[in-house]
Structure 1
């Protein structure tokens, strides 16, 4: 189902609704755009979607954003549970439907409680959470709301994960806020997968 037929998938609330920066037709792409798109298709993402639709307007930037995202998602040191919970926290904070629909099911598959993810969707503190999940969530929440970490929160995170992983966690949150902002501006719609267990919130 597409955003044209399911308003719950739409990003942005303008009326009439439209996607501002959709995928260009292949024959309208420049050589650089086609090369950037093919690199995404050949890489671990296997397609052009989400933030890479608007980023095709700036293919050199797309290449660098894609490389950072691949490092964080596919080559990082954080456990999948922690990574996906952090992505959900970031996407919910900035109200991005695409990342939520993609990563909420992945968080549950990785072992985060479905009840916790649904509470996060509703804007409440997620629970129940394992100790390391709670430490990561508290760090993400504080970072998103205060643009930094207090000494107690930072110390808990370092004791739980170590300094390199805390750097990775903060970078992960920043990356997903960045691409979510881009999709919010571009009105990039979500793609509801057949197995997505959770509804959206109003765009």
Structure 2
């Protein structure tokens, strides 16, 4: 069976810089009936493991290391044996949530992750966090953007480890160059497309989104 995208929403909290907020997170599962990759193991390892089922989980990919995107990753890894993958620039954030458990392997820009006969390419897109990445799957016409790009604009850059000019550079140079019909599967909220977001880049810059 061909590779497909499955979607799960989990709920919990996001904490940084002394504040805590309730959040709903998108968890994305890419695979077929045999194997899968989880993108952002947020909040509920049991629910994610149920969604994966008896498939072989080949990787738990972290788009970045804010706690709401990684809090369930170690437990999901323990349940499934899958490695946790993170860009090394986000290790300081990771250690705030999991000081005693390191990721299993590093993500690097341009790296390919194979699952169910397709390849997802890692795009390093810093700005929301130093080690933020997106995953591009041309065979699925899909981009998994984490918190780098949302329906309506860039991810937040008002807290520690974030930088607005950098996220704008990442979006302009790495994401808006993708085909317009690429569907953007975000870390929170609704999906969008590259074509829907591209015309608004200058607006975001002008208002310092």
Normalising by structure 2, report the TM-score. Answer: 0.25
Q: Determine which structure has the larger helix proportion and give its number.
A: 1
Which structure: larger Rg? Answer: 1
Q: Name the structure with the higher strand share.
A: 2
Larger RCO, structure (CA 8 Å, separation 6 or more): 1
